[in-house]
Amino acid sequence: MKTIMGTLFVMLLPALVLGGGRPVAPNGIPLMEGYRAWQVIAPSYREDKGHIRVILGNDTAVKAMRDGTRPFPDGTVLAKVAWTATKHPKFPVATVPDRFAQVEFMVKDAGKYKATGGWGFARFVGDDLKPYGRDASFVQECFGCHTPVKGNDYVFTGFASVP
Ligand code: HEC
């Protein structure tokens, strides 16, 4: 019995270490833990999708944003969370988040993700956080659309400043 449990544990270990029970994108990037508590880089609104977004960053990302460091250092992680938009029931001219739509990540590792500008991409969709992409080639879609901002290390969002 002990041996079976041990074997099972060894078999499950990579999944536990990589994902910690969290969903994992086809390229091996797991849903980042604790991203909801990261600092806000900026909000955004996408008209065609009717999505309200917030772009968040881990400590490395926030420091690089503040200092204007480009390229972003290894360890930078940016998250973009999207919700469908709705009118506030008590104040309809206010547009507020409704349902969670998806969360996306960009993880900087210049060596590991050299082929896609040093960024690893991942997207998790809907309430069950379904990993996006049939296989690891989905990143070409992400990288392709981020190339207009190659000059800003493939990042669209700037730090929304306050006085
Ligand atoms: C059709 C174009 C397009 C595609 C495809 C796309 N993005 Fe983006 N992405 C954008 C734009 C534009 C922004 C700027 C903020 C916004 O749209 O709300 C952005 C912002 C981001 C951000 C915040 C950092 C930044 O660059 O501003 C992350 C993280 C991100 N995208 C991840 C992804 C991932 C992961 C994929 C693929 C699964 C992906 N994107 C595919 C256009 C795209």
Burial class (CB within 10 angstroms; exposed 0-12, middle 13-18, buried 19+) of 86: middle
Which two three-digit tokens encode residue 52?
A: 């309200």
Burial class (CB within 10 angstroms; exposed 0-12, middle 13-18, buried 19+) of 56: buried
111-137 pLDDT per residue, tens: 999 999 999 999 999 999 999 999 999
pLDDT computed for residue 155 by the predictor: 98
Look at residue 45 and tell me whether its pLDDT is greater than 90: yes
Best residue for ligand 1 mutational test, from 46, 83, 104, 149 (most atoms within 8 Å of Cβ)? 104
- Using only the alpha carbons of the chain, give its radius of gyration: 18
- The percentage of the chain sitting over the pLDDT mark of 70, rounded to a whole number, equals 88
pLDDT computed for residue 18 by the predictor: 54
Best residue for ligand 1 mutational test, from 80, 102, 107, 135 (most atoms within 8 Å of Cβ)? 80
155 close to ligand 1 (CB < 6 Angstrom):
yes
Torsional sign, CA 136, 138, 142, 144:
positive
Residue 55 Cα to ligand 1 midpoint, Å, equals: 10
Find tokens 């972003």 and name the residue. Answer: 72
Mean confidence (pLDDT) of the chain? 92
* Distance of alpha carbon 122 from the chain centroid: 6
Look at residue 5 and tell me whether its pLDDT is greater than 60: no
Q: Give the Cβ contact number of residue 120 at 10 Å.
A: 19
With contact defined as beta carbons under 8 Å apart, do 123 and 102 qualify? Answer: yes
Point out the ligand 1 atom lying closest to the alpha carbon of residue 141: 5
91-102 pLDDT per residue, tens: 999 999 999 999
Lowest-pLDDT range of 8-12, 49-53, 79-83, 111-115: 8-12
101 close to ligand 1 (CB < 6 Angstrom):
no
41 close to ligand 1 (CB < 6 Angstrom):
no
Which two three-digit tokens encode residue 153?
A: 């290390």
Task: For residues 132 and 136, give the distance between their C-alpha atoms in angstroms, rounded to a whole number.
Answer: 10
- Name the residue at shortest CA distance from atom 23 of ligand 1: 80
Query: Within a 13 Å sphere around the CA of 103, how many CA atoms are in the beta-carbon half?
Result: 22
Q: What value does the mean pLDDT take over residues 24-36?
A: 98
132 close to ligand 1 (CB < 6 Angstrom):
yes
With contact defined as beta carbons under 8 Å apart, do 70 and 152 qualify? Answer: yes
Q: Give the Cβ contact number of residue 94 at 10 Å.
A: 10
User: Which residue has better confidence, 116 or 17?
Assistant: 116
Which two three-digit tokens encode residue 84?
A: 């469908």
pLDDT computed for residue 11 by the predictor: 52
Residue 142 Cα to ligand 1 midpoint, Å, equals: 7
